[in-house]
Structure 1
Amino acid sequence: MIRLTAAAALLRAGATVSLSEPELLGLSTCVRPGAVCFDIGAAYGMYTYPLAQLVGPTGQVHSFEPLPLPYRLLETGVRASGARNVRVTNAALGASLGWRTLRLPYRFGLPIHGWAHLEEGLKHPGQFAAAKTLEVPVYSVDRVCELREIARVDFMKVDVEGFEAEVLEGARWTIEQHRPALLMEIEQRHVDKYGRTSAEVAGSLIERGYRMHVWHGRRWRRTDRVAAPRRNYLFIANALGKPDGGRHVRTWDGA
């Protein structure tokens, strides 16, 4: 676990100087030892390693990445770090099961892995005409929990380039039963590809009793709207500061 701790510490250090996402610094307020976490759209593991370190040997991190190269690098890194509490899956998550087409934009002949997105439900392809496509397996959170006999989910990070509404739909039972904390990337430029609005995506959780927060001034602060230039929003259910299913929120503003 020493290598895992070092990897997580390096990513958190990067967050202090904007080399990695600043929200990494706030994970410890809602992810506790023994927690069960989903990293959806894991890429190279920016969140996987810190989550694995936080949940410890009694916890679980289920990471999902559909692109072959990031998946291989993440799988190799997880093995090298000794993170036995991480399970990496080469797949996307959505509302239903099956094989779907993933669109990988290119610019100047190079793939932009961070902007890859599923074509299912796509209404506006976006600014990149050049793209390659590949077929990838798609599961749902609810189905993964059933297949893997996961008794609870405490935290979900979702970064799927506009496909967030479909992921939430496929996690409907899990959200209602376990009320996990959710760290969501919500950007209008991405959700617009699927004919949605950022307010619509955030509102679907607020309607279910969640409160929305942003990481600002080294703490989570309440907000009531999605606004640029922020990308990531933390949604917490129930009373703030109340233990709930293995997670415990500690430091808040405006509770």
Structure 2
Amino acid sequence: METYLKDLRWGRFNLIKGDMISNIACAYGEWSDVEVEVFQQILSAEANVVEVGSNIGMHAVPLAKFVSKGKLICFEPQRIIFQQLCCNLALNNLTNVETYRMGVGDKRESILIEDCDYSQSWNYGSFSLDKGFSTESNFGQGVSKQALEVVNLDDFAPVQNLERLDLLKVDAEGFDIKVLEGARQTIERFKPMIFIEIQANSYAHIWEKMTAIGYKCYWVVSERYQKDNFYQAQRIAGEYGVDANFLCIANSEWDKLFAQHSTAQHSTAQHSTAQHSTAQHSTAQQDYYNFYLLLCQLTIQLNLYRKVRI
């Protein structure tokens, strides 16, 4: 395995030669930055975030910066990838992050997962706890086995000791449903926003599950190449990767947003001659507008899938 340092949009990263995520980040200076922009819009500095499947930290680094007064808890099962994650967090002097080399599922157990020397050009971000490196096609390289502890969030003390949880980000490559099953009490307690990667065979199940527990789901589809990428680079020949996710928001939290907006409007109507009150209304209205605009942008962008329901 060979690694190299690169200054990207969100900081300095140690990348892996031949790794698909590293290759795209090296070419564009960013990785799926549409998603990062969403996180920046919805998180406050005091927020707490749990990220299941952090990979080398392409999103963990900006997430930790966004929640500078809060905490980020990262899970990554791959041994070498976990080491790169910790390296990239250290390179960016991020001290508000806890990292765990563990899998996350619906129960606590010990399993065997695949391991390799990471010298082959591959999409190591597609690694799955059950299918190993061959989720997209046959890996074709000798692999070894190593033990891994799998936990569920409901029984994991560092998560349960949080006073708040604002965002649960899940990219578990086929284990997503199990992650949600093992976080039932956590979701009920904190009602966090949930950002979850969608596979072709899982989106209907996840949609049904989230709506059943009182969440609205919004598509977030991000093309990896953006014309305004950090390096202003041209598209890599033949690279047309797109990532699909749900941004799930609890109905109770959604209702609060509208209630706050309605209250702000009523307050302004009563005190239209008071400059201070009007300023407060303007701020509340702008906050609401920014959030509403974000959701509209996501809806328009993802109508390509004809699945959006608001």
User: TM-score normalised to the size of structure 1?
Assistant: 0.74
1:81 aligns with 2:92: yes
Q: Which has the higher helix share?
A: 2
Equivalence for 2:250: 237
The answer on whether the counterparts of 1:104 and 1:112 sit within 8 Å (CA) in structure 2 is no
Equivalence for 1:69: 80
Of the three residues 110, 113, 132, the one matched with 2:124 is: 113
Distance 2:89 2:177 in 1: 29
Equivalence for 2:218: 213
Equivalence for 2:39: 27
Distance 2:169 2:159 in 1: 20
The answer on whether the counterparts of 1:102 and 1:116 sit within 8 Å (CA) in structure 2 is no
Of the three residues 166, 170, 191, the one matched with 1:158 is: 170
Q: Deviations over 1:191-220 (max 9, x none)?
A: x5xxxx320122101211111113469xxx
The answer on whether the counterparts of 2:108 and 2:150 sit within 8 Å (CA) in structure 1 is yes
User: Percent identity at matched positions?
Assistant: 23
Q: Deviations over 1:8-34 (max 9, x none)?
A: 3689xx7xx694112111112221111
Inter-CA distance 29–102: structure 2 relative to 1 (3 Å threshold): same
Displacement, 1:86? 0.5
Inter-CA distance 240–136: structure 2 relative to 1 (3 Å threshold): same
Equivalence for 2:10: 8
The answer on whether the counterparts of 1:145 and 1:151 sit within 8 Å (CA) in structure 2 is no
Displacement, 1:150? 1.8
The answer on whether the counterparts of 2:75 and 2:99 sit within 8 Å (CA) in structure 1 is yes
Inter-CA distance 213–145: structure 2 relative to 1 (3 Å threshold): farther
SS of equivalent to 1:84: coil
Of the three residues 290, 295, 309, the one matched with 1:252 is: 295
Inter-CA distance 27–10: structure 2 relative to 1 (3 Å threshold): farther
The answer on whether the counterparts of 2:51 and 2:73 sit within 8 Å (CA) in structure 1 is yes
User: TM-score normalised to the size of structure 2?
Assistant: 0.62
**Which runs of 5 or more residues in structure 2 are unaligned?**
1-7, 14-24, 223-240, 258-287, 300-309
Equivalence for 1:220: none
Displacement, 1:145? 4.0
- Computing the radius of gyration from Cα coordinates, the structure with the larger value is 2
**Which runs of 5 or more residues in structure 1 are unaligned?**
1-5, 218-227
Of the three residues 104, 112, 124, the one matched with 1:93 is: 104
1:36 aligns with 2:48: yes
1:181 aligns with 2:193: yes
